[in-house]
Amino acid sequence: MDKIERYRGSLLGLATGDALGTTLEFKSPGSFTPIDDLIGGGPFDLEPGQWTDDTSMALCLAESLIECQDFDPVDQLSRYLQWLETGHLSSTGRCFDIGHTVSQALSRFQKTSEAYCGSADPRRAGNGSIMRLTPLVLFYANRPEEAIARAADSSRTTHGARTCIDACRYMAALLVGALNGVSKAELLAPSYSPIPGYWQQSPLISAEIAEIAAGSFKERQPPQIQGTGYVVKSLEAALWAFYNSASFKEGCLLAVNLGDDADTTGAVYGQIAGAFYGETGIPREWRSRLSLQALMIKFAEDLFHLSEKK
């Protein structure tokens, strides 16, 4: 598979998981009939193929990296703020779904223009920085060490809790591996890194993220696996779905049918699975209905060419 197809797959996979999961967003496990298709609806009454804040923030991050051709946290926050205030890069033209931690960070940015506005409070360890991560990794994929380091900085703009930072670091390592065509067995082996010995030199400080990296998602099943907004549960649920499936579609349905924060569980799963299975591994009937699909493809290709240049 050409690497550029994995790039397109990762960004389209994020949006697909987001759009699929919004139908079940905020619904408790066991309170709904599982879905098997892209049907829209949900708490924001979206059309099939429309997506939520996960994809909007990812597109803002992609746009910043492409236009700045560098990592500029202030520019990233400015674009997130533009999304909040004007609906920039929204699937509906307005901001209709935003997490409290992101909202708090953007309010701080409005007042201070600081580069890193994310709360370090462990109680603010939501999944809002892993849900949008892949553009950052697409940009730095040919420099794995920098990809992992910048993933941490990407989290700090809105989510400064150590658990969020380490979740982004570990997920960045997985995304680099998936983009480079690493097998699923190797990718999901204990403490995978594209850089040999990396976690020994720069360990995961969060014990909960280290437990996921060690393979907790292989040993658990629902209700221990939960698709909640807590970054630990969100990442573990996405990897559980990836581990227990053999196709993008099968895994994405496993992820979103956990309910709760289903759009973000789908988005986190979709980034990794999209990079692994590639663009054509995502069902055509789902891809073709995505809002702003052409722009996503352009952004993915732009990030690929910038990564190759660097």
Instruction: Find the CATH number of the domain harbouring 169.
Output: 1.10.4080.10
Whether residue 53 is annotated as binding a ligand: the answer is yes
Q: What is the pLDDT of residues 141-194, one digit of tens each?
A: 999 999 999 999 999 999 999 999 999 999 999 999 999 999 999 999 999 999
Provide the residue range defining the domain that includes 13.
3-30+47-308
Whether residue 40 lies inside any domain: the answer is: no
Query: In the prediction, which pLDDT does 149 show?
Result: 98
DSSP state letter for 47: P
Indicate whether 37 belongs to any domain: no
45 is in an annotated binding site: no
How far, in Å, CA of 16 to CA of 38, rounded? 9
pLDDT for 262-283, tens place per residue? 999 999 999 999 999 999 999 9
291 by DSSP, 3-state: which? coil
52 among the known binding-site residues?
yes
Asked if residue 36 is part of any domain, the answer here is no
Average pLDDT of span 6-24: 98
**Residue 126 in domain:** yes
Alpha-carbon distance values, 91 to 39, 54, 227, 288 (Å) = 15, 11, 23, 14
In-domain check, residue 38: no
* Residue 224 maps to a domain: yes
pLDDT score, position 310: 74
Q: What's the angle, vertex CA 59, arms to CA 192 and CA 84, rounded to 5?
A: 120
List, for residues 44-62, the tens digit of each pLDDT value. Answer: 999 999 999 999 999 999 9
- DSSP-derived 3-state class of residue 289: coil
pLDDT in tens, 174-189: 999 999 999 999 999 9
Asked whether residue 39 is assigned to any structural domain, the reply reads no
Domain count, the chain: 1
Mean pLDDT over 79-90 rounds to 98
Q: Does residue 212 belong to any structural domain of this protein?
A: yes
Contact between 236 and 212 under an 8 Å Cβ cutoff? The reply is: yes
Annotated binding residue 54: yes
Residue 244 has pLDDT above 90, yes or no: yes
Average pLDDT (4-15) is 98
Calculate what percentage of the chain has a pLDDT beyond 70.
100
Any binding-site annotation on 228? no
Looking at residue 41, the DSSP 8-state letter turns out to be B
